[in-house]
């Protein structure tokens, strides 16, 4: 359990072919991302593609008053960012940005699909992800950079961070 478990679980949840347009997912930031990684698992003729990796921005623990004086549960919320890098060979920037928006929407849809990221009934497991950690707290935040054209007739590139809480419950 812990940080590595959460990071690897998030990476596994988003692995291809689970998100259309997301063709490579790493368990952590890679030293190098080859250009082919953006299209590795893509159907033939695909013009746009993305890669991603999870990054744990922070964690904090909260005691939940259940159990005796020396036992109980701790809630451990992790602030996770799924960092997404995008490349497009579309001829028009507008078409590339449409593809970019679609990839981000598909990632959010996948996150909404199961708040336990496929770990229900397993040990360890994620208690919930993408649901915030208190009433009224934000659930999912998408931060994006302005897509950039690398020049006339060249690729369009962009990056984003899909931010959410992943909560682990630890008996302590």
pLDDT tens per residue, range 115-150 = 999 998 888 888 888 887 666 677 899 999 999 888
- The domain in which residue 97 lies consists of 3-171
Domain of 113, CATH number, reads: 3.30.2000
Alpha carbon 23 to its chain centroid, in Å, reads: 13
125 CB burial (10 A radius; 0-12, 13-18, 19+): middle
pLDDT at 153: 67
Higher pLDDT, 73 or 38: 38
pTM over the 0.85 mark: yes
79 pLDDT higher than 90: yes
Mean pLDDT within 69-89: 86
Note the pLDDT tens digit of each residue in 32-68: 999 999 999 899 999 999 999 999 999 887 766 655 6
Residue 5 has pLDDT above 60, yes or no: yes
* Domain count across the chain: 1
| 145 contacts 85 by C-beta, under 8 angstroms | no
Distance from C-alpha of 159 to C-alpha of 172, rounded to nearest angstrom = 38
């Amino acid at each position: 359990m812990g940080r590595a478990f959460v990071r690897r679980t998030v990476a596994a949840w988003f692995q291809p072919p689970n998100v259309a347009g997301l063709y490579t997912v790493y368990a952590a930031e890679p030293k190098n991302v080859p250009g082919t990684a953006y299209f590795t698992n893509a159907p033939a003729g695909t013009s746009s593609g993305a890669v991603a990796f999870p990054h744990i921005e922070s964690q904090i623990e909260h005691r939940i008053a259940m159990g005796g004086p020396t036992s109980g549960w701790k809630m451990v919320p992790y602030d996770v960012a799924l960092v997404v890098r995008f490349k497009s060979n579309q001829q028009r920037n507008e078409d590339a940005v449409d593809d970019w928006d679609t990839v981000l929407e598909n990632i959010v849809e996948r996150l909404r699909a199961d708040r336990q990221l496929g770990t229900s009934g397993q040990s360890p497991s994620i208690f919930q992800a993408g649901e915030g950690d208190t009433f009224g707290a934000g659930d999912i935040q998408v931060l994006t950079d302005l897509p950039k054209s690398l020049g006339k007739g060249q690729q369009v590139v962009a990056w984003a961070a899909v931010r959410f809480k992943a909560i682990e419950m630890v008996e302590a």
